[in-house]
Amino acid sequence: MGSSSGFGSGHDYSFKILIIGDSGVGKSSLLVSFISNHVDDLAPTIGVDFKIKHLTVGGKKLKLTIWDTAGQEKFRTLTSSYFRNAQGIILVYDVTQRETFTNLFEVWAKEVELYSTNQDCIKMLVANKVDKESERVVTKEEGIAFAKEYGCVFLECSAKTRENVEKCFNELAYKILEVPSLLEEGSTVVKNTILKQKQERQASAGGGCCS
Amino acid sequence: MFSRLASDAEMEKRKADEFEPGPASPLKPVDRFGFVKQDQNNSLEAKNRPNEVEREESRIRKWRKMIGVGGSDWKHYVRRKPHVVRRRIRKGIPDCLRGLVWQLISGSRGLLLMNPGVYEQLVIYETSASELDIIRDISRTFPSHVFFQQRHGPGQRSLYNVLKAYSVYDRDVGYVQGMGFLAGLLLLYMSEEDAFWLLVALLKGAVHAPMEGLYQVGLPLVQQYLFQFEQLVKEHLPKLGQHFSEEMINPSMYASQWFITVYSYSFPFPLALRIWDVFLYEGVKIVFQVGLALLTVCQNNLLKLGFEKLIHALRNFPEEAMDPEKLLPLSFSIKVTKRLEELKQEYEKQHGTSLAQFTSSSKPLKSLQSPAKPSND
């Protein structure tokens, strides 16, 4: 039981995670399922939403700042700026809707390439709604193949039954912890130093020096 | 451990509720607007006050006189006493007359009368590229309202029809998430066809500036509104504006849905209605005023919060801050008209002709008067 939700500042690392994918694939449900252990029918996300989760992975206390985005194409002008500085990106598709899978090639992989500022950022491919096995049209093998081609971690899960939901976020966090550059970005110590520098700069900027 | 068990039991109950087929069980208590009650003691409900009913009846009498039979006296009254009308609307349109008055003040009545048969044509004979997108969101729009709860019930069907009709009527806009909340709100007060024309009146600009830019590619009008709002926060609430920039909070993180759905997405329904009364009569500036009023009321608390708690607070205002009787008078006292216009020009200068381009590519409202021609593209 390493995870707990709610606010608090006692963490070693803080990471920014972004969830993307077509409308209706269950991005918000996945997040709500992870945060609060149950899923109601959710209204479509308008613009962006945001949740915090504290968890412990590999003995490290982590804080995940998770940005949930609207999937509809028109909202991309609002959501694209949220790719910046993300250490982890979760791409979600619905195994019962083929188009949500093909749009990963057509749309979402390109969005990541275009807007993600982080070379080492961990990408995770999540196949959602596996509880609807009888309606499945995208096979697990296809998911694995995509994940391999685009260098993603892959998991099949169900926000509804919570199958693999915690694993999804835990594994993503685990992978991020393995990358030194991401670790450095997420380190609280480093962040505080940067903040201090920023404040000092601001203070001195008041004296008329800025570049 | 015990609380965990309790929450599990609660979950089971919720699941059981979810899978109940057919219309909402009559046992579920609903509020006066038809939403299934979340908590029993809704402090914002007006019915508790004893002299409220009497006052409401006298207001309704005044309003009926002002409107006349079927709206016959309305235009005359508005021309003669615009300030009385504005004052009364700001106090809230009586709920039983809301649907009619909304149509009168939005200009949608006129559109409906000028375009007989057009709505039917759009619903029955045309096909829309957005049909699947619309269907996917239907059950996710006001799921806690009795009218929209029943799968394929009358509420869901009219919502689908209005959205589909609009997506055919303006193929540039099509269907965008958020429109469902506008249409849903309207459908609680008027027929499908009336709701459709009110949507047209709003987006094409029958009385006020057109708002279709909220839903066009690139959401140009949302971008403009967010820019204007950010500046207004800095000017009206400098301390908070400064705090927001330090914490790297920008309005797209909390206010996009205020504009995209005109507060119909996640605000208490009684407040949303009162905002809509004013919005339809006075225009979009009320959206800015309410936003600034909310921030003003909560300023002292917001100033204490860091990024995460701040963004949480901006998406979950306390109930007492959202009491229309307090929030609206404060909103009206915030003057924004002149600055909004200046900031709009500033935005257009900064962003070249982008917005003008968008608006010129879409059909002007005038073309409405000719019947919609079947388009087979």
pLDDT tens figures, A158-175: 999 999 999 999 999 999
Q: Residue B22 has what pLDDT?
A: 47
Supply A140's token pair.
């697990």
pLDDT of residue A1: 38
Q: Any CB–CB contact under 8 A between A66 and chain B?
A: no
Q: Check residue A117 and give its pLDDT.
A: 87
B130-157 average pLDDT score: 92
pLDDT at B28 (0 to 100): 77
Contact list, A49 vs chain B (CB under 8 Å): 315
Phi/psi of residue B333, nearest 5 degrees? -80, -10
Assess whether pLDDT exceeds 90 at residue A197.
no
Residue B260: CB partners within 8 Å, gap ≥ 6?
A46, A47, B178, B214, B215, B219, B222
Report the b/e string of A169-185 with b at 16+ CB within 10 A.
bbbbbbbbbebeebbeb
Q: How confident is the model at residue B16 (pLDDT cuts 50, 70, 90)?
A: very low
B169 and B128 Cβ atoms separated by less than 8 Å: no
Chain A contact set for B14 (CB, 8 A) = 38, 40
Which band of pLDDT confidence, cut at 50, 70 and 90, is reported for residue A210?
very low
Question: Which pLDDT belongs to residue B106?
Answer: 96
B213 has a pLDDT exceeding 90: yes
Sign of the torsion angle spanned by Cα atoms B97, B99, B105, B108: negative
How far, in Å, CA of A182 to CA of A173, rounded? Answer: 11
- Contact of A46 with B178, CB cutoff 8 Å: yes
Angle between helix B269-282 and helix B82-90 axes, rounded to 10 deg: 160
Q: What is the pLDDT of residue A146?
A: 96
Q: Predicted confidence band at A209 (pLDDT cuts at 50, 70, 90)?
A: very low
Query: Using CA of residue B44, residue B45, residue B48, residue B54, what is the dihedral sign?
Result: positive
Q: CB distance A48–B7 less than 8 Å?
A: no
Predicted complex: ipTM over 0.85: no
The confidence score (pLDDT) of residue B217 equals: 92
Residue A135: the pLDDT is 97
pLDDT at B143: 85
Mean pLDDT computed over every residue of chain A: 87
The pLDDT value recorded for residue B71 is 80
Q: Is the dihedral of CA B48, B53, B55, B60 positive or negative?
A: positive
- Is the pLDDT at B360 greater than 50? The verdict is no
Chain B positions in Cβ-Cβ contact with residue A65 (cut-off 8 Å) = 308
- Burial (CB count <10 Å: 0-12, 13-18, 19+), residue B366: exposed
A10 in contact with B, Cβ within 8 Å = no
**Model confidence at B19: pLDDT above 60:** no
CA distance B331 to B289: 5
The proportion of chain B whose per-residue pLDDT surpasses 90, expressed as a percent, equals 72
- Confidence bin at A204 (pLDDT 50/70/90): low
Residue type present at position B159: L
pLDDT of residue A145: 97
Q: Do B312 and A50 touch (CB under 8 A)?
A: yes
Please give the residue that has the higher pLDDT: either B180 or B376. B180
Among partner residues B14, B18, B137, which is closest to A44 by beta-carbon distance? B137
Is B217–A81 a contact, with Cβ atoms under 8 angstroms apart? Answer: no
Percent of chain B with pLDDT over 70: 83
A48/B218 CB distance under 8 A: no
Range B351-374 average pLDDT: 50
B310 close to B247: Cβ distance less than 8 angstroms? yes
Residues B259, B319: Cα–Cα separation, whole Å: 20
Q: By mean pLDDT, which of A184-193, B142-151, B248-257, B354-363 is the weakest?
A: B354-363
Among the residue ranges A106-120, A187-201, B261-275, the one predicted with the least confidence is: A187-201
Are A47 and B176 inside 8 Å of each other by CB?
no
User: Would you call B225 exposed, middle or buried from its count of C-beta atoms within 10 A (0-12, 13-18, 19+)?
Assistant: buried
Please check the confidence at residue B23 and state whether its pLDDT lies above 80.
Answer: no
Predicted confidence band at B15 (pLDDT cuts at 50, 70, 90)? very low
- What is the rounded distance in angstroms from the CA atom of residue B111 to the CA atom of residue B365? 10
Does the model's pTM come out above 0.80? yes
Residue A50 contacts residue A16 (beta carbons within 8 Å): no
Q: In terms of C-beta distances under 8 Å and separation of at least 24 residues, what long-range contacts does B36-44 make, across chains too?
A: B36/B144, B36/B145, B36/B146, B36/B149, B38/B144, B43/B319, B44/B268, B44/B270, B44/B271, B44/B319, B44/B322, B44/B323, B44/B324
User: What's the confidence (pLDDT) of residue B53?
Assistant: 85
How many beta-carbon contacts under 8 Å exist across A and B?
73
Half-sphere exposure of B188 (CA within 13 A, CB side): 24
Cβ of A65 and B308 within 8 Å? Answer: yes
The 10s digit of each residue's pLDDT in A55-102 is 999 899 999 999 999 999 899 988 988 998 899 999 999 999 999 999
pLDDT at position A199 is 59
Contacts B266 to A, Cβ<8 Å: 43
User: Does residue B48 surpass a pLDDT of 70?
Assistant: no
Distance of residue B253 Cα from the nearest chain A Cα, in angstroms: 6
Of residues B27 and A91, the one with the higher pLDDT is A91
Write out pLDDT tens, residues B318-350. 999 999 999 999 999 999 999 999 999 999 999
CA distance B94 to B98: 6
Mutation target vs A (from B144, B308, B310; most A CBs, 10 A cutoff): B308
Query: Is the pLDDT score of B281 beyond 60?
Result: yes
Do the beta carbons of residue B263 and residue B275 sit within 8 Å?
yes
Q: Note the pLDDT of residue A198.
A: 58
Probe site for chain B from A15, A74, A75 (most B CB atoms < 10 A): A74
Q: Do B7 and A65 touch (CB under 8 A)?
A: no
**What digits encode the pLDDT tens for the residues A92-140?**
999 999 999 999 999 999 999 999 988 899 999 999 999 999 999 999 9
**H or E segment at A22?**
none
On the question of pLDDT at A211 being above 60, the answer is no
Q: Which one-letter amino acid corresponds to residue B268?
A: P
Pick the residue from chain A with its C-alpha nearest to B246.
Answer: A199
Q: Which residues of B touch A (CB under 8 A)?
A: 7, 11, 14, 18, 133, 136-137, 139-141, 143, 176-178, 180, 215-219, 222-223, 252-253, 256-257, 260-261, 265-266, 308-309, 311-312, 315
